[in-house]
Amino acid sequence: MPFTTPNLDYHALSPEIVVTAVLAVILVADLFLDSSRKWLLSNIAAFGLVAAMAPILSLALSETDVRSMVGGAYVVDNFALVLKALFLGIGFVVLLMSSNYIEDGDYYEGEFYFLLLCSLLGMMVMASSRDLITIFVALETLSLPAYMLAGWRKRDLRSNEASLKYYLLGVLASAIMLYGMSLIYGFTGTTVLAKIGEQMHGSAAHQPLVTMAIVFIIVGFAFKVSAVPFHSWAPDTYEGAPTPVTAFLSVASKTGGFVALLELIFVGFFGRGDVWGPMFGILAALTMTVGNLVALRQKNIVRMLAYSSIAQAGYILVPFAIAGSNDGAGAKSAFTAAVVYLLVYAAMNLGAFSIIVAVARKTRSGEISSYGGLYEYAPGLAVLMTIFLFSLAGIPPLAGAWAKLFIFRAVLDAGTSWAVLLGVVAAVNSVIALFYYASIAREMWMNPVPDGDRTPIQVPAALVTALGITAAIVIIVGVYPQTFANFGDLASLVP
């Protein structure tokens, strides 16, 4: 069979092309800039990300809704565009968080931004992948730079540990997943998800081998999204990695994993809800409960947020668990719930991490007790942190509440008693979670300053911008959640 050049739609690929060009520029510029002018690199990266938003906008406004390439392996539709925009937004905020951190900490700068953009590129590709191989390539593109970023504080043992643990477990997960993918290919003879999806109703409907393959693939991604019991790497990695990288891992990398799961489940394996439904149910219940209970005991704020983000992943798993029940009637609202949660989670978690970066500039500590009396010397940071925490806890009128409401809606839309039970577990968990989120608020507002040092915190402009963006999203979406309404047609993936 002769090789035919695939027909590429360059307009559809332009966001990825812009990001690739920018990271090439960074790599070259890094060679020629002397160390006093390395700060330029972060600006180049930031402008590059903003520039990449332009083609996304033009694609969103264009007449063609779905642009499919390479035999359906690479698709640019509304779902892909929204998530690409989300990834660019996350990347932009992480850049704002890290520019001063990396500069002051005397770390390598050029490589940092290069790797960060590489990882983002992988995520953007992931948003368009509708094919097993593309998903795998995207996953490795986003993971490999992340392994290195986690070890960026190279003179710190814990950062080394973070990187190594993340790497070993990540590779293990990839191996398991790849095995599952090869089984699927062996059975169906195709790697394109849409075609796999057709066979799931027919010949592959009750094959034990296919069941095993699906389990393997889900377990592989359960590592990526740090679902219990595959979460053991997350707290150590999050604590050891530089804080902006932790923010990046806990938001962007996790979102990347969930995007892949959405594609796999809703396009590829939708017919086999009997396999993944119960599996996600158990994962979700365990992840929420264990994440929250362990978070209760944490003394270090980054570790606590690590467990909190595990628990949050549990909430996002809930809609997966119920998507297939009731003959798929609730699939659409399950899909919307997962996407909405990902969007909101990104804003509130990045906001909380930005505060941690800002406060650590003064206290040089990650202990929760070092937040004592924050209100007295940094009222602005204390108010914003309170907003982010209570949004994570799901208190209206903040964005997190609506994200949770969408989950509950999906649960009741499915309507089965298992679904409702899972909803009750989620409801009880949100009460447990409030306890530790409120404990930070208590520290900031009700306890005295530990060392009596009340000098105000100097927050650099980049961090202020990061905080402004995230807080604005949390509050605006909180008061006027109709901003979500336009994502209703995102559910195009749902069969």
Partner 1 sequence: MLTAAVFLPIVGAALLALIPREREEMLKAVALVVTLATAVIGLSLLFGFDYGDAGRLQYTVNHGWIEVINSRYHIGIDGISLPLLILSMVITVLCVIYSWDHFPEPHNPKAFLILMLVLETGMNGTFAAQDLILFFVFFELVLLPMYFMIGVWGGPNRQYAAIKFFLYTLFGSALMILSFLALYFKGGQTFDIPLLIAQGGAIAHGTQLLIFGGLFMGFAIKVPMFPFHTWLPDAHTEAPTVGSVILAAVLLKLGTYGFIRIAIPILPEAARSWAPWIGLLAVIGIIYGALGCLAQRDMKRLIAFSSVAHMGFVMLGIATLTTFGINAAVFGMVAHGLITGMLFFIAGSIQERFGTRELSRLGGLLLQAPRMGWMLGFCAFASLGLPGLAGFWGEFPAILSAYQPAAGLSEATFRAYMAVAAIGTVFAAGYLLWMLQRVAFGVVKPEFEKAHIHDVHIPEYIAWVPLLLGILVFGIFPHLLFQMTDAAVSVVTHGVDAVGAAGAAAGR
Q: Which residues bind partner 1 (CB under 8 A)?
A: 336, 390, 395-397, 401-402, 405, 408-409, 411-413, 415, 420, 423-424, 427-428, 430-431, 434-435, 438-439, 442, 445-446, 480-482, 484-485, 488
Residue among 388, 357, 120, 406 at smallest CA distance from 255: 120
Which residues lie across from 133 on neighbouring strands? none
Find out whether the peptide bond into 235 is cis, omega within 30 degrees of 0: no
Opening angle at CA 464, ends 459 and 469, nearest 5: 160
Instruction: Name which of 278 and 396 has its Cβ closer to partner 1.
Output: 396
Residue among 371, 365, 396 at smallest CA distance from 385: 371
In the complex, the smallest distance separating the C-beta of residue 257 from partner 1, rounded to whole angstroms, is 26
Tokens encoding 105: 């900490």
In the complex, the smallest distance separating the C-beta of residue 93 from partner 1, rounded to whole angstroms, is 25
Instruction: Name which of 202 and 448 has its Cβ closer to partner 1.
Output: 448
Residue among 256, 255, 253, 273 at smallest CA distance from 265: 273
SS3 269: coil
Instruction: Name which of 168 and 428 has its Cβ closer to partner 1.
Output: 428
Opening angle at CA 227, ends 223 and 230, nearest 5: 50
Instruction: Name which of 238 and 408 has its Cβ closer to partner 1.
Output: 408
Instruction: Name which of 306 and 434 has its Cβ closer to partner 1.
Output: 434
Instruction: Name which of 172 and 412 has its Cβ closer to partner 1.
Output: 412
Instruction: Name which of 88 and 444 has its Cβ closer to partner 1.
Output: 444
In the complex, the smallest distance separating the C-beta of residue 430 from partner 1, rounded to whole angstroms, is 6
CA dihedral 178, 182, 184, 189 (to 10 degrees): 140
Tokens encoding 300: 């270090």
Instruction: Name which of 209 and 428 has its Cβ closer to partner 1.
Output: 428
In the complex, the smallest distance separating the C-beta of residue 397 from partner 1, rounded to whole angstroms, is 5
Residue among 393, 395, 427, 432 at smallest CA distance from 409: 427
In the complex, the smallest distance separating the C-beta of residue 406 from partner 1, rounded to whole angstroms, is 8
Tokens encoding 259: 């995007």
In the complex, the smallest distance separating the C-beta of residue 213 from partner 1, rounded to whole angstroms, is 35
Instruction: Name which of 424 and 461 has its Cβ closer to partner 1.
Output: 424
Phi, psi of 73 (to 5 degrees): -85, -25
Instruction: Name which of 30 and 413 has its Cβ closer to partner 1.
Output: 413
Which residues lie across from 69 on neighbouring strands? 74
Residue 92 near residue 50 (C-beta atoms within 8 A): yes
In the complex, the smallest distance separating the C-beta of residue 446 from partner 1, rounded to whole angstroms, is 5
In the complex, the smallest distance separating the C-beta of residue 374 from partner 1, rounded to whole angstroms, is 13
In the complex, the smallest distance separating the C-beta of residue 434 from partner 1, rounded to whole angstroms, is 6
Which residues lie across from 367 on neighbouring strands? 300
Q: How far is the C-alpha of 117 from the C-alpha of 92, rounded, in Å?
A: 10
CA 299 from chain centre, in angstroms, equals 24
In the complex, the smallest distance separating the C-beta of residue 375 from partner 1, rounded to whole angstroms, is 8
Tokens encoding 398: 């903040």
In the complex, the smallest distance separating the C-beta of residue 423 from partner 1, rounded to whole angstroms, is 6
Find out whether the peptide bond into 397 is cis, omega within 30 degrees of 0: yes
Neighbours of 178 (CB within 10 A): 17
DSSP letter, residue 62: S
Residues making up the chain, counted from first to last: 495
In the complex, the smallest distance separating the C-beta of residue 339 from partner 1, rounded to whole angstroms, is 12
Residue 152 near residue 223 (C-beta atoms within 8 A): no
Q: How far is the C-alpha of 117 from the C-alpha of 278, rounded, in Å?
A: 37
Residue 299 near residue 366 (C-beta atoms within 8 A): no
Instruction: Name which of 57 and 431 has its Cβ closer to partner 1.
Output: 431
Residue 22 near residue 44 (C-beta atoms within 8 A): yes
Instruction: Name which of 237 and 430 has its Cβ closer to partner 1.
Output: 430
